[in-house]
Chain A
Amino acid sequence: MAKNKKEALLKTPTGINGLDEITNGGFPKGRPVLICGSAGCGKTLFATQFLVKGITEYNEPGVFMSFEESASDLTQNFNSLGFDFEKLKADKKLYVDHVRIERSEIEETGEYDLEGLFIRLNYAIDTVGAKRVVLDTLESLFSGMENMALLRSEIRRLFTWLKEKGVTAIITGERGESSLTRQGLEEYVSDCVILLDFRVIEQIATRRLRIVKYRGSTHGTNEYPFIIDEDGISVLPVTSLKLDYKSSTEIISTGLAALDNAFSTGGIYCGSSTLLTGQAGTSKTILAAHFAMSSYKRKESTLYFSFEESPDQLLRNMATIGIDLKQAIKSKLLHIQASRPSLQGLEMHLLVFNKLLEELKPRTVIIDPISSLITIGNNNEVRAMLVRLMDTLKMKQINALFTSLTHDGPSEYNNPTVDAVSSLADTWIDLKNEERNNERVRSLLIVKSRGMGHSNNQQDFTITDKGINFTTSNKK
Protein backbone atom coordinates (compact mmCIF):
# COMPACT_ATOMS: atom_id res chain seq x y z
CA MET A 1 0.00 0.00 0.00
CA ALA A 2 2.84 2.34 0.84
CA LYS A 3 4.10 2.03 -2.70
CA ASN A 4 0.86 3.34 -4.07
CA LYS A 5 1.57 6.90 -5.12
CA LYS A 6 -2.04 7.66 -5.84
CA GLU A 7 -3.82 9.30 -2.99
CA ALA A 8 -5.33 6.29 -1.35
CA LEU A 9 -8.25 6.55 0.98
CA LEU A 10 -7.24 5.97 4.55
CA LYS A 11 -8.99 2.99 6.06
CA THR A 12 -10.07 1.92 9.49
CA PRO A 13 -10.02 -1.83 10.19
CA THR A 14 -13.57 -3.04 10.72
CA GLY A 15 -12.80 -5.67 13.33
CA ILE A 16 -15.09 -8.02 11.48
CA ASN A 17 -13.40 -11.17 10.22
CA GLY A 18 -13.18 -11.19 6.47
CA LEU A 19 -14.67 -7.75 5.90
CA ASP A 20 -11.34 -5.97 5.64
CA GLU A 21 -10.47 -8.26 2.75
CA ILE A 22 -13.64 -7.37 0.90
CA THR A 23 -13.26 -3.66 1.51
CA ASN A 24 -9.53 -3.65 0.82
CA GLY A 25 -8.61 -2.55 4.30
CA GLY A 26 -11.73 -1.49 6.10
CA PHE A 27 -14.09 1.43 6.38
CA PRO A 28 -13.20 4.92 5.17
CA LYS A 29 -11.35 6.56 8.01
CA GLY A 30 -13.09 9.51 9.59
CA ARG A 31 -16.27 9.06 7.61
CA PRO A 32 -19.76 7.82 8.30
CA VAL A 33 -20.74 4.32 7.23
CA LEU A 34 -24.34 3.26 6.90
CA ILE A 35 -25.29 -0.29 7.85
CA CYS A 36 -28.81 -1.13 6.83
CA GLY A 37 -30.97 -4.21 6.93
CA SER A 38 -34.24 -5.52 8.22
CA ALA A 39 -34.93 -6.33 11.85
CA GLY A 40 -32.80 -9.10 13.26
CA CYS A 41 -30.16 -9.08 10.57
CA GLY A 42 -27.31 -8.32 12.95
CA LYS A 43 -26.90 -4.55 12.60
CA THR A 44 -26.42 -3.82 16.28
CA LEU A 45 -24.01 -6.70 16.72
CA PHE A 46 -22.11 -5.53 13.67
CA ALA A 47 -21.79 -2.06 15.15
CA THR A 48 -20.91 -3.39 18.59
CA GLN A 49 -18.16 -5.57 17.19
CA PHE A 50 -16.74 -2.64 15.24
CA LEU A 51 -16.57 -0.66 18.45
CA VAL A 52 -15.28 -3.37 20.76
CA LYS A 53 -12.60 -4.60 18.36
CA GLY A 54 -11.62 -1.00 17.82
CA ILE A 55 -10.96 -0.67 21.52
CA THR A 56 -9.35 -4.02 22.17
CA GLU A 57 -7.35 -4.51 18.98
CA TYR A 58 -6.61 -1.08 17.60
CA ASN A 59 -6.70 0.98 20.77
CA GLU A 60 -9.34 3.28 19.38
CA PRO A 61 -11.83 4.39 22.04
CA GLY A 62 -15.45 4.46 21.05
CA VAL A 63 -18.82 5.97 21.70
CA PHE A 64 -21.99 3.95 21.54
CA MET A 65 -25.10 6.02 21.21
CA SER A 66 -28.15 3.84 21.41
CA PHE A 67 -31.55 5.08 20.33
CA GLU A 68 -33.30 1.79 20.80
CA GLU A 69 -31.92 -0.77 23.13
CA SER A 70 -31.96 -0.33 26.83
CA ALA A 71 -28.72 -0.29 28.76
CA SER A 72 -29.18 -3.88 29.89
CA ASP A 73 -29.73 -5.12 26.34
CA LEU A 74 -26.62 -3.31 25.37
CA THR A 75 -24.60 -4.85 28.15
CA GLN A 76 -25.78 -8.24 26.99
CA ASN A 77 -24.72 -7.44 23.45
CA PHE A 78 -21.23 -6.57 24.53
CA ASN A 79 -20.98 -9.49 26.90
CA SER A 80 -22.15 -11.90 24.21
CA LEU A 81 -18.98 -11.04 22.33
CA GLY A 82 -16.99 -11.90 25.39
CA PHE A 83 -16.14 -8.34 26.38
CA ASP A 84 -16.66 -6.79 29.73
CA PHE A 85 -18.89 -3.84 29.09
CA GLU A 86 -18.50 -2.33 32.53
CA LYS A 87 -14.74 -2.65 32.44
CA LEU A 88 -14.47 -0.96 29.06
CA LYS A 89 -16.53 1.88 30.44
CA ALA A 90 -14.51 2.08 33.65
CA ASP A 91 -11.29 2.15 31.64
CA LYS A 92 -12.60 5.19 29.78
CA LYS A 93 -12.36 3.38 26.49
CA LEU A 94 -16.05 3.26 25.89
CA TYR A 95 -18.74 5.86 26.45
CA VAL A 96 -22.34 4.80 26.22
CA ASP A 97 -25.19 7.21 25.91
CA HIS A 98 -28.71 5.95 25.79
CA VAL A 99 -30.99 8.34 23.98
CA ARG A 100 -34.44 7.79 25.35
CA ILE A 101 -37.27 9.78 23.92
CA GLU A 102 -40.71 9.51 25.42
CA ARG A 103 -42.98 10.22 22.51
CA SER A 104 -46.05 10.66 24.64
CA GLU A 105 -44.38 13.42 26.60
CA ILE A 106 -43.25 15.40 23.60
CA GLU A 107 -45.07 18.28 21.98
CA GLU A 108 -43.67 20.19 19.02
CA THR A 109 -44.31 23.89 19.47
CA GLY A 110 -42.22 25.43 16.74
CA GLU A 111 -38.86 25.08 15.08
CA TYR A 112 -36.14 23.21 16.86
CA ASP A 113 -32.80 21.60 16.16
CA LEU A 114 -30.84 18.58 17.38
CA GLU A 115 -28.31 20.62 19.27
CA GLY A 116 -29.00 18.55 22.37
CA LEU A 117 -27.85 15.46 20.54
CA PHE A 118 -24.83 17.23 19.08
CA ILE A 119 -23.75 18.41 22.51
CA ARG A 120 -24.12 14.96 24.01
CA LEU A 121 -22.21 13.36 21.19
CA ASN A 122 -19.50 15.97 21.35
CA TYR A 123 -19.18 15.51 25.08
CA ALA A 124 -19.03 11.73 24.70
CA ILE A 125 -16.39 11.84 21.97
CA ASP A 126 -14.22 14.27 23.88
CA THR A 127 -14.55 12.39 27.16
CA VAL A 128 -12.93 9.20 25.88
CA GLY A 129 -11.10 10.65 22.89
CA ALA A 130 -13.21 8.50 20.62
CA LYS A 131 -12.11 7.52 17.13
CA ARG A 132 -15.13 5.34 16.52
CA VAL A 133 -18.79 6.20 16.97
CA VAL A 134 -21.91 4.10 16.64
CA LEU A 135 -25.38 5.58 16.26
CA ASP A 136 -27.86 2.75 16.64
CA THR A 137 -30.62 3.26 15.25
CA LEU A 138 -30.60 6.92 14.40
CA GLU A 139 -33.87 6.79 12.55
CA SER A 140 -35.76 6.13 15.73
CA LEU A 141 -35.61 9.88 16.16
CA PHE A 142 -38.10 10.27 13.39
CA SER A 143 -40.83 8.13 14.80
CA GLY A 144 -43.67 10.17 16.14
CA MET A 145 -42.22 13.47 15.06
CA GLU A 146 -44.14 15.79 12.81
CA ASN A 147 -41.53 18.00 11.26
CA MET A 148 -39.70 15.54 9.02
CA ALA A 149 -38.10 18.14 6.78
CA LEU A 150 -36.50 19.78 9.77
CA LEU A 151 -35.19 16.48 11.14
CA ARG A 152 -33.77 15.54 7.77
CA SER A 153 -31.80 18.71 7.45
CA GLU A 154 -30.54 18.19 10.99
CA ILE A 155 -29.44 14.64 10.19
CA ARG A 156 -27.60 15.95 7.18
CA ARG A 157 -25.88 18.46 9.44
CA LEU A 158 -25.03 15.65 11.85
CA PHE A 159 -23.20 13.68 9.15
CA THR A 160 -21.22 16.72 8.10
CA TRP A 161 -20.38 17.37 11.73
CA LEU A 162 -19.22 13.78 12.25
CA LYS A 163 -16.86 14.12 9.30
CA GLU A 164 -15.46 17.35 10.68
CA LYS A 165 -14.98 15.66 13.99
CA GLY A 166 -12.89 13.05 12.20
CA VAL A 167 -14.53 9.99 13.70
CA THR A 168 -15.34 6.83 11.81
CA ALA A 169 -19.02 6.39 12.48
CA ILE A 170 -21.41 3.54 11.95
CA ILE A 171 -25.01 4.54 11.57
CA THR A 172 -27.49 1.72 11.51
CA GLY A 173 -30.81 1.96 9.76
CA GLU A 174 -33.82 -0.26 9.37
CA ARG A 175 -34.62 -1.36 5.87
CA GLY A 176 -37.44 0.62 4.27
CA GLU A 177 -40.00 -0.56 1.77
CA SER A 178 -38.66 1.15 -1.29
CA SER A 179 -35.35 2.46 -0.03
CA LEU A 180 -32.44 1.02 1.88
CA THR A 181 -33.49 2.79 5.05
CA ARG A 182 -36.85 4.10 6.16
CA GLN A 183 -35.85 7.72 6.00
CA GLY A 184 -33.57 7.41 3.02
CA LEU A 185 -30.43 8.00 5.05
CA GLU A 186 -28.42 6.52 2.20
CA GLU A 187 -28.85 9.84 0.42
CA TYR A 188 -26.81 11.56 3.09
CA VAL A 189 -24.18 8.93 3.71
CA SER A 190 -22.42 8.89 0.43
CA ASP A 191 -19.18 7.28 1.45
CA CYS A 192 -19.96 3.73 2.39
CA VAL A 193 -23.21 1.81 2.55
CA ILE A 194 -23.45 -1.83 3.58
CA LEU A 195 -26.56 -3.92 3.36
CA LEU A 196 -27.18 -6.89 5.63
CA ASP A 197 -29.73 -9.48 4.74
CA PHE A 198 -31.28 -12.40 6.51
CA ARG A 199 -33.06 -14.94 4.38
CA VAL A 200 -34.62 -18.27 4.98
CA ILE A 201 -34.32 -20.53 1.96
CA GLU A 202 -35.83 -23.97 2.29
CA GLN A 203 -35.98 -23.65 6.06
CA ILE A 204 -32.34 -22.83 6.36
CA ALA A 205 -31.37 -19.37 7.38
CA THR A 206 -28.58 -17.60 5.62
CA ARG A 207 -27.14 -14.20 6.33
CA ARG A 208 -25.62 -12.14 3.61
CA LEU A 209 -23.74 -8.90 3.32
CA ARG A 210 -23.31 -6.64 0.34
CA ILE A 211 -21.39 -3.42 -0.11
CA VAL A 212 -23.84 -1.19 -1.90
CA LYS A 213 -21.56 1.76 -2.19
CA TYR A 214 -18.01 2.63 -1.25
CA ARG A 215 -16.84 5.89 -2.68
CA GLY A 216 -13.22 6.16 -3.65
CA SER A 217 -12.37 2.56 -2.99
CA THR A 218 -12.48 -0.70 -4.79
CA HIS A 219 -14.49 -3.37 -3.07
CA GLY A 220 -15.99 -6.76 -3.65
CA THR A 221 -19.44 -6.50 -5.20
CA ASN A 222 -20.79 -9.94 -4.45
CA GLU A 223 -23.21 -10.93 -1.79
CA TYR A 224 -21.06 -12.43 0.91
CA PRO A 225 -22.44 -14.94 3.34
CA PHE A 226 -21.73 -14.16 6.94
CA ILE A 227 -22.36 -15.96 10.16
CA ILE A 228 -22.88 -15.00 13.74
CA ASP A 229 -21.38 -17.22 16.39
CA GLU A 230 -19.71 -16.87 19.76
CA ASP A 231 -16.90 -14.83 18.21
CA GLY A 232 -19.31 -12.41 16.60
CA ILE A 233 -19.67 -11.81 12.89
CA SER A 234 -17.45 -13.46 10.29
CA VAL A 235 -17.75 -12.76 6.61
CA LEU A 236 -16.61 -15.32 4.08
CA PRO A 237 -15.04 -13.71 1.08
CA VAL A 238 -15.74 -15.87 -1.94
CA THR A 239 -13.38 -14.40 -4.41
CA SER A 240 -10.34 -13.77 -2.31
CA LEU A 241 -9.05 -17.18 -3.30
CA LYS A 242 -6.85 -17.30 -6.31
CA LEU A 243 -5.56 -19.98 -8.59
CA ASP A 244 -1.99 -19.55 -7.54
CA TYR A 245 -1.38 -22.40 -5.18
CA LYS A 246 1.76 -24.44 -5.38
CA SER A 247 1.78 -27.99 -6.64
CA SER A 248 3.77 -30.65 -4.93
CA THR A 249 5.54 -33.45 -6.76
CA GLU A 250 5.66 -35.59 -3.66
CA ILE A 251 3.69 -38.81 -3.90
CA ILE A 252 1.56 -40.27 -1.15
CA SER A 253 -0.21 -43.59 -0.83
CA THR A 254 -3.96 -43.98 -1.09
CA GLY A 255 -3.74 -46.56 1.65
CA LEU A 256 -4.06 -49.47 -0.74
CA ALA A 257 -0.93 -50.76 -2.39
CA ALA A 258 -2.80 -52.27 -5.31
CA LEU A 259 -4.54 -49.00 -5.99
CA ASP A 260 -1.28 -47.08 -5.73
CA ASN A 261 0.12 -49.36 -8.40
CA ALA A 262 -2.63 -48.37 -10.76
CA PHE A 263 -1.00 -44.94 -10.97
CA SER A 264 2.21 -44.58 -12.96
CA THR A 265 3.67 -42.60 -10.09
CA GLY A 266 2.82 -45.25 -7.51
CA GLY A 267 0.39 -43.04 -5.65
CA ILE A 268 -1.30 -39.69 -5.78
CA TYR A 269 0.24 -36.27 -5.45
CA CYS A 270 0.53 -34.80 -2.03
CA GLY A 271 -1.92 -31.94 -1.59
CA SER A 272 -4.16 -33.08 -4.41
CA SER A 273 -7.86 -33.75 -4.27
CA THR A 274 -9.55 -37.02 -5.01
CA LEU A 275 -13.16 -37.68 -5.82
CA LEU A 276 -14.69 -41.03 -5.08
CA THR A 277 -18.04 -41.72 -6.73
CA GLY A 278 -20.32 -44.68 -6.63
CA GLN A 279 -23.81 -45.86 -5.89
CA ALA A 280 -24.97 -46.91 -2.47
CA GLY A 281 -23.02 -49.83 -1.09
CA THR A 282 -20.02 -49.59 -3.35
CA SER A 283 -17.54 -49.24 -0.47
CA LYS A 284 -16.84 -45.55 -0.73
CA THR A 285 -16.52 -45.16 3.00
CA ILE A 286 -14.20 -48.15 3.27
CA LEU A 287 -11.88 -46.67 0.71
CA ALA A 288 -12.05 -43.40 2.61
CA ALA A 289 -11.09 -45.24 5.79
CA HIS A 290 -8.07 -46.75 4.05
CA PHE A 291 -7.15 -43.27 2.97
CA ALA A 292 -7.39 -42.05 6.55
CA MET A 293 -5.24 -44.93 7.75
CA SER A 294 -2.52 -44.19 5.20
CA SER A 295 -2.37 -40.69 6.62
CA TYR A 296 -2.13 -42.15 10.10
CA LYS A 297 0.74 -44.36 9.00
CA ARG A 298 2.54 -41.26 7.75
CA LYS A 299 1.95 -39.82 11.24
CA GLU A 300 -0.07 -37.02 9.73
CA SER A 301 -3.30 -35.73 11.15
CA THR A 302 -6.59 -36.30 9.41
CA LEU A 303 -9.92 -34.53 9.67
CA TYR A 304 -12.82 -36.75 8.75
CA PHE A 305 -16.22 -35.18 8.16
CA SER A 306 -18.90 -37.77 8.41
CA PHE A 307 -22.34 -36.65 7.31
CA GLU A 308 -24.08 -39.98 7.55
CA GLU A 309 -22.53 -42.04 10.30
CA SER A 310 -21.71 -41.26 13.87
CA PRO A 311 -18.05 -41.67 14.85
CA ASP A 312 -18.96 -44.74 16.90
CA GLN A 313 -20.77 -46.41 14.08
CA LEU A 314 -17.95 -45.65 11.71
CA LEU A 315 -15.39 -47.14 14.12
CA ARG A 316 -17.42 -50.27 14.68
CA ASN A 317 -18.07 -50.85 10.99
CA MET A 318 -14.49 -50.35 9.99
CA ALA A 319 -13.26 -52.55 12.82
CA THR A 320 -15.24 -55.49 11.37
CA ILE A 321 -13.12 -55.34 8.25
CA GLY A 322 -9.87 -54.90 10.05
CA ILE A 323 -9.44 -51.17 9.74
CA ASP A 324 -8.58 -49.93 13.17
CA LEU A 325 -9.56 -46.30 13.22
CA LYS A 326 -9.65 -46.39 16.99
CA GLN A 327 -5.90 -46.35 17.40
CA ALA A 328 -5.70 -43.41 15.03
CA ILE A 329 -8.19 -41.52 17.16
CA LYS A 330 -6.35 -42.44 20.33
CA SER A 331 -3.14 -41.06 18.92
CA LYS A 332 -5.03 -37.83 18.20
CA LEU A 333 -4.09 -38.06 14.56
CA LEU A 334 -7.64 -38.67 13.45
CA HIS A 335 -10.49 -36.37 14.24
CA ILE A 336 -13.98 -37.37 13.19
CA GLN A 337 -16.48 -34.56 12.91
CA ALA A 338 -19.93 -36.01 12.51
CA SER A 339 -23.02 -33.92 11.96
CA ARG A 340 -26.15 -33.99 9.90
CA PRO A 341 -25.87 -31.69 6.92
CA SER A 342 -29.30 -30.25 7.65
CA LEU A 343 -28.20 -29.20 11.10
CA GLN A 344 -27.04 -25.89 9.78
CA GLY A 345 -26.76 -23.85 6.63
CA LEU A 346 -23.99 -24.22 4.11
CA GLU A 347 -22.19 -21.15 5.36
CA MET A 348 -22.14 -22.54 8.84
CA HIS A 349 -20.71 -25.80 7.54
CA LEU A 350 -18.05 -23.98 5.63
CA LEU A 351 -17.22 -21.98 8.69
CA VAL A 352 -16.92 -25.08 10.83
CA PHE A 353 -14.63 -26.50 8.15
CA ASN A 354 -12.48 -23.44 8.20
CA LYS A 355 -12.36 -23.26 11.95
CA LEU A 356 -11.37 -26.89 12.30
CA LEU A 357 -8.77 -26.47 9.61
CA GLU A 358 -7.28 -23.65 11.63
CA GLU A 359 -7.51 -25.52 14.88
CA LEU A 360 -6.32 -28.97 13.92
CA LYS A 361 -4.17 -28.11 10.93
CA PRO A 362 -4.79 -31.49 9.33
CA ARG A 363 -2.70 -32.77 6.42
CA THR A 364 -5.62 -34.79 5.11
CA VAL A 365 -9.31 -33.97 4.94
CA ILE A 366 -12.04 -36.46 4.11
CA ILE A 367 -15.62 -35.49 3.46
CA ASP A 368 -18.01 -38.39 3.39
CA PRO A 369 -20.18 -37.78 1.46
CA ILE A 370 -20.39 -34.38 -0.19
CA SER A 371 -23.55 -35.43 -1.97
CA SER A 372 -25.60 -35.07 1.17
CA LEU A 373 -24.89 -31.35 1.19
CA ILE A 374 -27.36 -31.12 -1.67
CA THR A 375 -30.14 -31.48 0.84
CA ILE A 376 -29.40 -28.11 2.35
CA GLY A 377 -28.86 -25.77 -0.54
CA ASN A 378 -29.58 -25.32 -4.17
CA ASN A 379 -27.08 -26.62 -6.66
CA ASN A 380 -25.40 -23.32 -7.29
CA GLU A 381 -24.81 -22.68 -3.63
CA VAL A 382 -23.45 -26.14 -2.97
CA ARG A 383 -21.23 -25.87 -5.98
CA ALA A 384 -19.93 -22.48 -4.88
CA MET A 385 -19.29 -23.78 -1.42
CA LEU A 386 -17.42 -26.84 -2.65
CA VAL A 387 -15.28 -24.78 -4.97
CA ARG A 388 -14.39 -22.52 -2.06
CA LEU A 389 -13.65 -25.45 0.15
CA MET A 390 -11.48 -27.12 -2.45
CA ASP A 391 -9.58 -23.94 -3.10
CA THR A 392 -8.93 -23.53 0.59
CA LEU A 393 -7.67 -27.08 0.87
CA LYS A 394 -5.45 -26.64 -2.19
CA MET A 395 -3.97 -23.46 -0.81
CA LYS A 396 -3.15 -25.18 2.40
CA GLN A 397 -1.71 -28.15 0.50
CA ILE A 398 -4.06 -30.55 2.21
CA ASN A 399 -4.77 -34.00 0.77
CA ALA A 400 -8.48 -34.09 0.15
CA LEU A 401 -10.85 -36.95 -0.42
CA PHE A 402 -14.50 -36.44 -1.23
CA THR A 403 -16.99 -39.21 -1.62
CA SER A 404 -20.17 -38.69 -3.54
CA LEU A 405 -23.21 -40.87 -3.92
CA THR A 406 -24.41 -41.36 -7.48
CA HIS A 407 -27.65 -42.82 -8.71
CA ASP A 408 -28.69 -44.83 -11.69
CA GLY A 409 -30.03 -42.57 -14.32
CA PRO A 410 -29.72 -41.29 -17.84
CA SER A 411 -26.42 -39.73 -16.90
CA GLU A 412 -24.24 -41.87 -14.78
CA TYR A 413 -23.03 -39.01 -12.68
CA ASN A 414 -26.22 -37.03 -12.48
CA ASN A 415 -25.37 -35.44 -9.22
CA PRO A 416 -24.57 -31.77 -8.86
CA THR A 417 -21.78 -32.36 -6.39
CA VAL A 418 -20.08 -34.72 -8.78
CA ASP A 419 -20.66 -32.13 -11.44
CA ALA A 420 -19.07 -29.48 -9.31
CA VAL A 421 -16.15 -31.42 -8.00
CA SER A 422 -15.26 -33.79 -10.82
CA SER A 423 -13.77 -31.06 -12.97
CA LEU A 424 -11.84 -29.64 -10.05
CA ALA A 425 -10.65 -32.89 -8.56
CA ASP A 426 -7.21 -34.08 -9.56
CA THR A 427 -8.11 -37.72 -9.33
CA TRP A 428 -11.48 -39.29 -9.88
CA ILE A 429 -12.18 -42.88 -8.97
CA ASP A 430 -15.52 -44.49 -9.70
CA LEU A 431 -16.73 -47.52 -7.79
CA LYS A 432 -19.18 -50.09 -9.12
CA ASN A 433 -21.10 -53.00 -7.80
CA GLU A 434 -22.47 -55.03 -10.68
CA GLU A 435 -23.81 -58.41 -11.42
CA ARG A 436 -21.62 -60.73 -13.45
CA ASN A 437 -22.33 -64.45 -13.85
CA ASN A 438 -24.84 -64.51 -11.03
CA GLU A 439 -22.39 -62.84 -8.77
CA ARG A 440 -22.07 -59.35 -7.44
CA VAL A 441 -18.68 -58.01 -8.29
CA ARG A 442 -17.17 -54.90 -6.85
CA SER A 443 -14.91 -52.95 -9.11
CA LEU A 444 -13.02 -49.73 -9.32
CA LEU A 445 -12.08 -47.54 -12.24
CA ILE A 446 -9.79 -44.56 -12.35
CA VAL A 447 -11.67 -42.05 -14.45
CA LYS A 448 -8.95 -39.47 -14.44
CA SER A 449 -5.78 -38.54 -12.70
CA ARG A 450 -4.06 -35.30 -13.46
CA GLY A 451 -0.39 -35.24 -14.17
CA MET A 452 0.19 -38.97 -14.17
CA GLY A 453 -0.52 -42.06 -16.13
CA HIS A 454 -3.02 -44.50 -14.76
CA SER A 455 -4.52 -47.87 -15.40
CA ASN A 456 -7.52 -47.94 -17.68
CA ASN A 457 -8.68 -51.28 -16.45
CA GLN A 458 -11.63 -51.93 -14.31
CA GLN A 459 -10.22 -53.55 -11.21
CA ASP A 460 -12.26 -56.01 -9.25
CA PHE A 461 -11.97 -56.23 -5.52
CA THR A 462 -13.56 -57.93 -2.58
CA ILE A 463 -13.98 -56.85 0.97
CA THR A 464 -12.25 -59.10 3.42
CA ASP A 465 -11.73 -58.95 7.14
CA LYS A 466 -8.51 -57.14 6.32
CA GLY A 467 -10.15 -54.47 4.25
CA ILE A 468 -10.21 -54.15 0.51
CA ASN A 469 -8.45 -56.85 -1.47
CA PHE A 470 -7.91 -56.52 -5.20
CA THR A 471 -8.57 -59.65 -7.16
CA THR A 472 -7.41 -58.57 -10.60
CA SER A 473 -3.76 -57.92 -11.00
CA ASN A 474 -2.65 -54.53 -12.12
CA LYS A 475 -0.75 -53.98 -15.27
CA LYS A 476 1.01 -50.71 -15.41
Chain B
Amino acid sequence: MKEKEKEKAKGKLIIEGKLILKLYVSGMSQKSMKAIENIKLLCDEHLKGSFELEIIDIYKNPKLASEKHIVFSPSLLKILPLPKKTLVGTLSDTKKVLKGLGITIE
Protein backbone atom coordinates (compact mmCIF):
# COMPACT_ATOMS: atom_id res chain seq x y z
CA MET B 1 0.00 0.00 0.00
CA LYS B 2 2.79 2.30 0.85
CA GLU B 3 4.47 1.73 -2.47
CA LYS B 4 1.35 2.53 -4.39
CA GLU B 5 1.13 5.83 -2.67
CA LYS B 6 4.71 6.49 -3.57
CA GLU B 7 3.97 5.82 -7.17
CA LYS B 8 0.98 8.09 -7.04
CA ALA B 9 3.13 10.86 -5.72
CA LYS B 10 5.54 10.50 -8.66
CA GLY B 11 2.88 9.82 -11.24
CA LYS B 12 1.81 6.36 -12.23
CA LEU B 13 3.73 4.35 -14.80
CA ILE B 14 1.39 2.85 -17.33
CA ILE B 15 2.21 0.29 -19.96
CA GLU B 16 0.02 -1.65 -22.30
CA GLY B 17 0.54 -5.35 -21.93
CA LYS B 18 3.61 -7.17 -20.79
CA LEU B 19 7.02 -5.76 -21.54
CA ILE B 20 9.49 -8.20 -23.07
CA LEU B 21 13.06 -6.96 -23.00
CA LYS B 22 16.45 -8.30 -24.01
CA LEU B 23 19.57 -6.56 -22.88
CA TYR B 24 22.70 -7.32 -24.87
CA VAL B 25 25.86 -6.46 -23.00
CA SER B 26 29.55 -6.97 -23.64
CA GLY B 27 30.98 -8.81 -20.68
CA MET B 28 31.47 -6.92 -17.46
CA SER B 29 32.33 -3.60 -19.01
CA GLN B 30 31.53 -0.50 -17.04
CA LYS B 31 28.85 0.56 -19.48
CA SER B 32 27.27 -2.88 -19.44
CA MET B 33 27.12 -2.96 -15.66
CA LYS B 34 25.59 0.47 -15.56
CA ALA B 35 22.91 -0.48 -18.04
CA ILE B 36 22.06 -3.61 -16.07
CA GLU B 37 21.83 -1.60 -12.90
CA ASN B 38 19.60 1.02 -14.51
CA ILE B 39 17.16 -1.38 -16.13
CA LYS B 40 16.88 -3.48 -13.00
CA LEU B 41 16.16 -0.45 -10.92
CA LEU B 42 13.43 0.66 -13.26
CA CYS B 43 11.78 -2.70 -13.70
CA ASP B 44 12.01 -3.99 -10.15
CA GLU B 45 10.81 -0.79 -8.62
CA HIS B 46 8.10 0.20 -11.01
CA LEU B 47 7.12 -2.63 -13.27
CA LYS B 48 6.87 -5.53 -10.91
CA GLY B 49 5.34 -8.55 -12.54
CA SER B 50 4.66 -6.92 -15.86
CA PHE B 51 7.99 -7.44 -17.51
CA GLU B 52 10.36 -10.12 -18.70
CA LEU B 53 14.04 -9.27 -18.92
CA GLU B 54 16.79 -11.39 -20.35
CA ILE B 55 20.42 -10.34 -20.16
CA ILE B 56 22.70 -11.73 -22.86
CA ASP B 57 26.47 -11.45 -23.04
CA ILE B 58 27.50 -11.10 -26.69
CA TYR B 59 31.06 -12.10 -25.87
CA LYS B 60 29.69 -15.53 -25.11
CA ASN B 61 27.36 -15.54 -28.12
CA PRO B 62 29.21 -13.74 -30.89
CA LYS B 63 27.01 -15.21 -33.58
CA LEU B 64 23.94 -13.83 -31.91
CA ALA B 65 25.32 -10.30 -32.22
CA SER B 66 25.12 -10.58 -35.98
CA GLU B 67 21.79 -12.38 -36.01
CA LYS B 68 20.19 -9.80 -33.74
CA HIS B 69 21.88 -6.90 -35.56
CA ILE B 70 23.71 -5.69 -32.51
CA VAL B 71 26.22 -2.96 -33.26
CA PHE B 72 26.15 -0.79 -30.19
CA SER B 73 26.76 -2.06 -26.72
CA PRO B 74 24.91 -2.11 -24.43
CA SER B 75 21.67 -2.44 -26.42
CA LEU B 76 18.27 -2.97 -24.89
CA LEU B 77 15.78 -4.50 -27.30
CA LYS B 78 12.11 -4.07 -26.67
CA ILE B 79 10.52 -7.08 -28.31
CA LEU B 80 6.99 -6.47 -27.07
CA PRO B 81 4.80 -4.54 -27.12
CA LEU B 82 5.28 -3.38 -30.68
CA PRO B 83 6.80 -1.31 -32.18
CA LYS B 84 10.22 -2.76 -31.62
CA LYS B 85 12.76 -0.39 -30.20
CA THR B 86 16.46 -0.50 -29.51
CA LEU B 87 17.74 1.57 -26.66
CA VAL B 88 21.48 1.94 -26.89
CA GLY B 89 23.73 3.12 -24.10
CA THR B 90 23.77 2.95 -20.34
CA LEU B 91 20.01 3.69 -20.04
CA SER B 92 20.87 6.66 -17.84
CA ASP B 93 18.49 9.06 -19.55
CA THR B 94 15.35 7.90 -17.76
CA LYS B 95 13.04 10.13 -19.77
CA LYS B 96 14.24 8.63 -23.03
CA VAL B 97 14.13 5.13 -21.63
CA LEU B 98 10.52 5.48 -20.54
CA LYS B 99 9.56 7.01 -23.85
CA GLY B 100 11.41 4.31 -25.73
CA LEU B 101 9.70 1.57 -23.78
CA GLY B 102 6.32 3.13 -24.36
CA ILE B 103 5.72 3.89 -20.70
CA THR B 104 3.63 6.89 -19.94
CA ILE B 105 3.42 8.71 -16.67
CA GLU B 106 0.06 9.81 -15.46
Complex contact B62–A110 (CB within 8 A): no
Contact of A141 with B71 in the complex, beta carbons under 8 Å = yes
Pick the residue among A97, A100, A106, A112 that contacts B90 (CB under 8 A).
A112
Contact (A111, B71) CB under 8 Å given A105-B84, A120-B62, A123-B62: no
Contact of A465 with B by CB under 8 A: no
Within 8 Å of chain A (Cβ to Cβ): is B80?
A: no
In the complex, number of A-B residue pairs with CB atoms less than 8 Å apart: 102
B92:A123 contact, CB within 8 angstroms: no
Query: Are B89 and A116 in touch, CB under 8 angstroms?
Result: no
Q: Using a CB-CB cutoff of 8 Å, which residues 102-121 of chain A contact chain B?
A: 102, 105-117, 119-120
B31 contacts A112, CB within 8 Å? Answer: yes
From A97, A106, A109, A115, give the contact of B66 (CB < 8 A): A97
- Residues in chain B near residue A106, CB distance under 8 A: 72, 85-88
Q: Say yes or no: is A122 at the interface (Cβ < 8 Å to chain B).
A: yes
Q: Which residue of A lies closest to B78 (CB)?
A: A105
Q: Are B89 and A109 in contact (CB-based, < 8 A)?
A: yes
CB-CB < 8 A to B34: which residues of A? 110
Q: Bound complex: CA of A109 vs CA of B96, how far in Å?
A: 6
**When each residue 141-152 of chain A gets 1 if its CB lies under 8 Å from chain B and 0 otherwise, what string results?**
100000000000
B58 within 8 A of A: yes
Asked if A101 is at the interface (CB within 8 A of a chain B CB), the reply is: yes
Q: Is A114 a contact of B89 with CB atoms below 8 Å?
A: no
The size bracket of the interface on A is 20 to 34
Check: B6 CB closer than 8 A to any chain A CB.
no
A109 touches B26 (CB 8 A): no
- Is B91 an interface residue, CB under 8 A from the partner? yes
* Measured CA separation A332–B93 after assembly (Å): 78
| Chain A residues within an 8 Å CB radius of B62 | 119-120, 122-123
- On chain B, the residues within 8 Å of A101 by CB distance are 69, 71
A102: chain B residues within 8 A (beta carbon): 86
Which residue of the partner chain, among A100, A113, A124, contacts B31 with CB atoms under 8 Å?
A: A113
User: Considering residues B34, B74, B76, B96, which has the most beta carbons from chain A within 10 angstroms of its beta carbon?
Assistant: B74
The 3 closest A-B pairs by CB, nearest first: A110-B90, A110-B89, A110-B92
Give 15 pairs: A residue, B residue, CB < 8 Å, sorted on A.
A99-B69, A105-B83, A107-B86, A107-B87, A107-B88, A108-B93, A109-B91, A109-B97, A110-B90, A114-B71, A115-B72, A117-B71, A119-B65, A120-B71, A123-B63
Using CB atoms and an 8 Å cutoff, list the residues of chain A in contact with chain B: 97, 99-102, 105-117, 119-120, 122-124, 141
| Additional A-B contact list (20), CB under 8 Å, known A110-B91, A114-B71 | A100-B69, A102-B86, A107-B85, A107-B88, A107-B100, A109-B76, A109-B88, A109-B97, A109-B100, A110-B90, A111-B90, A112-B72, A112-B74, A112-B75, A112-B89, A113-B26, A113-B73, A115-B73, A123-B63, A123-B66
